[in-house]
Amino acid sequence: MRFYEYEAKALFARHGAPLLRGRLARTAAEAKAVAAEIGGPVVLKSQVLTGGRMKAGGVKFADTADQAESAAQAILALEIKGQKPRGVLVEQRAGVAQEYFAAVTWDGRRKLPVLVFSDMGGIDIEEVAETHPEHVAQVHLSTLLPFSPFKAKEAVAAVGVTGEDLNRLTPI
């Protein structure tokens, strides 16, 4: 099963994960309205079921609602790896001190879900895994047992995150 980012974030919200304000817009006018509602700087992200959005121009930043409308119009006209966007996720922009990447994907060889975590963000994650494997952890999960916070801590710690950062990231 694959999720668009906005669908995954709805699941995270239901389980109490801290998220920035935002929602899906299907038109540029709707993106403008969402940006005005949020107030202040926003990020707009193409909703496609593939990676490489940033490099393809599918992620843009806007300081005003008018800029958000223009950015959304450009994003909605894009095709990324053969996919037209389902919409644009408009979110409050956060100051980022450190970017992390976390995903659960399927390991076809082992026939198990795998938690992937990186302390180098998610851009070019496959390339990062090849060139800097010490910055990408893969922890296999059980298909029979419930997810354990210990597995999350194992993945986060495997890339060298320690102390307060480890404790703050693990519950998310």
Per-residue pLDDT reduced to its tens digit, 119-146:
998 888 888 889 999 999 999 999 999 9
Domains in the chain (CATH in brackets) are: 5-92 (3.30.1490.20), 101-169 (3.30.470.20)
Question: Which residues, including other chains, have CB under 8 Å from residue 104's CB and lie 6 or more apart?
Answer: 113, 114, 115, 116, 141
- Which has the closest alpha carbon to 166: 122, 120, 100? 100
Q: What digits encode the pLDDT tens for the residues 67-120?
A: 999 999 999 999 999 999 999 999 999 988 889 999 999 999 999 999 999 999
Q: How far apart are CA 29 and CA 63, in angstroms?
A: 16
Q: What is the pTM of this model?
A: 0.81
Q: How far apart are CA 45 and CA 79, in angstroms?
A: 13
